[in-house]
Structure 1
């Protein structure tokens, strides 16, 4: 059996706080907002803006946001929003 946890965060401050706390004491970053805590449990820390941007009715917007997300380790709200605006 495999399990992971996804947490929706209101803003970048919440993303940063949870990220720092979960990788502390032996956890590690993965990619695209994923990390493993010190016990090896995978988490995805997701700003609430990401699903909205990925669901944009303009496929070019969602494609740019998805491409930007794929380059990130910890998700960056401002960079995702810039990708949507590009």
Structure 2
């Protein structure tokens, strides 16, 4: 048995699915909204949403497909799930950090943040896996440096990685 379609993360919002999809598409290159569906008259006794309001938005961020559902206030995001954005440069780190913390987002430790919708992101250098899986001394220096950071300082991590013990 094989998977006929790629896995699609579905993000649950109260009423802001379309706003969130538009925001994320503005932040990430090669992104687009591919479909917007609306609640019908049927089922209002269950879902409680006005007919014609946005039900689901399907969008792509850099080629990865996502769905955003206006499911109501029952569920909210927490840090148990996050999306990693692996960056090649400090400019990329700065761009995503600034864009995703704008308008009410929250900065967190070690490259983590929450956007204005409460979704958690990890903005990290693409080489972080290599740095943390190197020899024990180098990886310990990188970890010690990273634990003191909010937004990642790529140069500082690279210096910690290369520093002679």
- TM-score relative to the length of structure 1: 0.92
Task: Pick the structure with greater CA Rg.
Answer: 2
2:150 to 59, 73, 77: 73
- Of structures 1 and 2, the one with the larger relative CO (CA 8 A, separation 6+) is 1
Structure 1 residue ranges (4+ consecutive) displaced by more than 2 angstroms after TM superposition: none
Mind listing any 5+ residue stretches in structure 1 that lack a counterpart? Answer: none
2:123 to 13, 36, 45: 45
* Higher relative strand content: 2
* Cα RMSD (Å): 1.3
* Higher relative helix content: 1
- TM-score relative to the length of structure 2: 0.49
Counterpart check, 1:23 vs 2:101: yes
Counterpart check, 1:34 vs 2:112: yes
Greater shift after overlay, 24-33 or 46-55?
46-55
Mind listing any 5+ residue stretches in structure 2 that lack a counterpart? Answer: 1-76
